[in-house]
């Protein structure tokens, strides 16, 4: 079958805010009764983030889910359009060339969805195939890449994957639960898109994808729909579960291509938080420098859910050699993809 090759990437970010400023301007009062809250914000590894609704300027904690969904469509459309247009430009393609348009999101829903509205707005063909990857969480970019890559290889036509997450629309009423503090200290908004083309002689070839789900730990990470938006449940045991599985996932991914860990030139690890990156580094025996791109994205952009690993891949655009992309989320689920020079 024809190889699917990543030939273009684009991103769009809403307004930037400073981590210390949003603490002082909103969360210090929001979590006034939680003694660990300041330490969690300070130790998050985040310096700046992005939000369509900065809580220091606009408090959405009392908004119902319907109002938040309407705001999602309003804000996501221009961000998604910018990210997809940038990816198509980078690949040298026109919207009419696209055969499949896949959208991954876990932070907003509507019908007609973001996929239909953006396809029409961008001028994609009426016969376009579409795929919505919904509510998978932070790892959704990689199964999205896998599905888009399968389409490209089987049909011989280009595909676009867009990950658009607006986590700022889900700020929750004050609670003493530390998982809420952690979520509000880490999560951020972003849209990121990539183009895959059949058999291109430039870019990175999607050479393999491996998934692993541990259903015995399904309660460790949750994303529940409530009357006041979506609420995250996050156990401090998540890094321990990743430590049990990440080595096996990477070994399976690389062995299938005849590679070893030391052959990998770049690591695009989803920065779910500083401890997540520490666990991956230590379990795989990597150098701290291998985590540099992931830590930079965490510091500058926060955790943008499914869009994050695509932002890290973009940081590694100039790396020559095999690249491994990894992301983690509810399930608990680990996904890893191997990208090789075309």
Q: Which residues are catalytic?
A: 138
Interacting residues of 303 by C-beta distance below 8 A, sequence separation 6+ = 46, 138, 186, 187, 188, 270, 271, 272, 273
Instruction: Kindly report the number of other CB atoms within 10 A of residue 9's CB atom.
Output: 20
Instruction: Kindly report the number of other CB atoms within 10 A of residue 261's CB atom.
Output: 15
Is 341 buried (19+), middle (13-18) or exposed (0-12) by CB count in 10 A? Answer: middle
Q: Which residue has the tokens 């430590």?
A: 243
* Cα dihedral sign, 81-84-90-91: negative
Within the chain, where are the H helices?
A: 19-22, 28-30, 37-42, 65-91, 114-122, 141-155, 178-186, 238-255, 274-284, 292-301, 308-315
In DSSP terms, which residues pair with 187 in a beta bridge?
A: 303
Q: What is the Cα–Cα distance from 93 to 197, expressed in whole angstroms?
A: 10
Residue 192 near residue 307, CB atoms below 8 Å = yes
Instruction: Kindly report the number of other CB atoms within 10 A of residue 227's CB atom.
Output: 7
């Amino acid at each position: 079958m024809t190889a699917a090759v990543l030939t273009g990437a684009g991103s769009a970010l809403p307004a930037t805010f400073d981590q210390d400023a949003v603490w002082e301007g909103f969360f210090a009062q929001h979590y006034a009764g939680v003694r660990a809250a300041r330490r969690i914000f300070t130790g998050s590894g985040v310096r700046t983030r992005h939000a369509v609704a900065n809580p220091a300027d606009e408090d959405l904690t009392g908004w119902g889910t319907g109002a938040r969904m309407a705001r999602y469509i309003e804000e996501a459309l221009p961000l998604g359009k910018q990210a997809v247009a940038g990816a198509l430009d980078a690949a040298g393609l026109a919207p009419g060339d696209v055969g499949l348009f896949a959208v991954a999101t876990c932070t907003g829903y509507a019908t007609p969805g973001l996929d239909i509205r953006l396809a029409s707005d961008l001028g994609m063909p009426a016969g376009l195939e579409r795929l919505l990857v919904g509510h998978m969480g932070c790892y959704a970019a990689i199964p999205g890449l896998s599905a888009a890559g399968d389409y490209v290889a089987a049909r011989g036509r280009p595909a676009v994957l867009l990950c658009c997450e607006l986590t700022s629309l889900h700020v929750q009423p004050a609670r003493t639960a530390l998982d809420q503090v952690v979520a509000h200290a880490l999560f951020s908004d972003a849209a990121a898109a990539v183009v895959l083309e059949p058999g291109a002689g430039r870019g990175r070839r999607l050479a393999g994808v491996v998934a692993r789900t541990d259903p015995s730990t399904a309660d460790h990470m949750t994303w529940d729909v409530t009357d006041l938006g979506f609420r995250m449940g996050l156990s401090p045991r998540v890094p321990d579960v990743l430590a049990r599985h990440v080595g096996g996932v990477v070994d399976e991914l690389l062995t299938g291509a005849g590679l070893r860990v030391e052959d990998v030139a770049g690591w695009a690890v989803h920065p779910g938080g500083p401890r997540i990156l520490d666990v991956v580094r230590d379990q795989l025996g990597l150098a701290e420098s291998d985590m540099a791109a992931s830590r930079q994205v965490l510091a500058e952009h926060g955790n943008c859910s499914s869009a994050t690993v695509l932002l890290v891949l973009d940081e590694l655009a100039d790396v020559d050699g095999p690249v491994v992309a990894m992301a983690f989320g509810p399930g608990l689920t680990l996904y890893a993809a191997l990208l090789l020079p075309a």
